[in-house]
Amino acid sequence: MKRMLLATTVLALTAPMAVAEISFSGYGRFGLNYNSDAVFNESQIDMRMRINIDGSVETDSGITFGGRIRLQYDENTVSDNDSDGLVSNDRAGAQLSPAMLYATGFGVRVEVGNANTAYDSVALMYNSEIGYLDRGFGDPNGNYFSFNSTPYGSEEINRMGLFVSYSAGGFNGRISLVDPDQTGAVIDEEELSLSVDYAFGQATVAAAYVDNAAGVENAQALFLGAEYAISDAANIGLLYFDYDEDLDANDSVRVTLYGNYTMDAITFKGYVATDDQDGLANDTAYGLGVDYDLGGARLSGDIHRSYAEETIAGLGVRFDF
């Protein structure tokens, strides 16, 4: 009997065990932001603190199950703590995102809940951004769903997303579906998006499409992008965005040319973008930026001329952990 108990104990101690892990990641940023056409103060101090909380467990079969929630504070965060339907700065603090759960293994990843979307996750889409705020007027036009960093709004109480991706070598393919409200109480449409990107040699190409973007019926967006690494220190890229919906005034075709060059600890960045949307003061916007690598953080400056002919500028620090 003693030998049997001892053998059982040894088997329990030596049997394969699932590996569980809790991890934290995120970033902080702060700096001075300037807008020449601001209604009140032209210059303000901007800050954000973001913490991703990830929990995961790897099964004996090699599949990893996990989830993520995000804690985030911005200096302009507002709240509705008294649930009266009105937001205010009173008692506004860091906000907690809805949860995303996932399973991944053998090149496949599946997410449910506050899931990423295929359109928002495609490569190259945000590569023209500059400054410590990672911004630019060459970014995607129109609205579409993505991982929500703050609580859902009143029309997304029971929002549910589904995301599936497959990766092999330099290829990535994705498909996603977001239902703004599973109860059917909200009339918003389900958003469907697809994306692919492929990296080969010194080049990367990408494409993405979304239907019923952000739950708006018949709103569609198309993205095409290409980037080429001229050398280890420099690259250049071209982005094409086409947004279309029933309200013609919101239709827009945007084309962005961007590039960057790194010299020692300094990276120079720039972009120029055109947009044919009706009502813009100018159909061209552009920006220049410079990053200085502090070794674990970066000091970044940026200046832009917007479609509204505003001058936007910033100087600040960002650190990732």
3-state secondary structure of 284: strand
Close Cβ partners of 224 (under 8 Å, ≥ 6 residues apart): 206, 207, 239, 240
Residue 165: beta bridge partners?
Answer: 109, 174
pLDDT tens digits for 82-107?
444 445 554 568 999 999 999 999 99
Domains and CATH numbers, the chain: 19-76+93-320 (2.40.160.10)
- pLDDT attached to residue 81: 44
Q: How far apart are CA 165 and CA 116, in angstroms?
A: 10
- pLDDT attached to residue 17: 61
Q: Please give the DSSP secondary-structure letter assigned to residue 282.
A: -
Residue 259 identity (one-letter amino acid): G
3-state secondary structure of 268: strand
Look up tokens 């498909």; give the residue.
175
pLDDT tens digits for 154-203?
888 899 999 999 999 999 999 999 999 998 887 789 999 999 999 999 99
Angle at 207 between CA 204 and CA 209, to 5 degrees: 160
Q: How far apart are CA 13 and CA 20, in angstroms?
A: 17
Q: How far apart are CA 304 and CA 273, in angstroms?
A: 11
What's the predicted TM-score (pTM) here?
0.90
- pLDDT attached to residue 79: 56
Handedness of CA 207, 252, 255, 125 (dihedral sign): negative
Would you call 10 exposed, middle or buried from its count of C-beta atoms within 10 A (0-12, 13-18, 19+)? exposed
Q: Flag residues of the chain having pLDDT under 70.
A: 1-17, 78-92
Q: Say how many CA atoms lie within 13 Å of 172 toward its Cβ.
A: 16
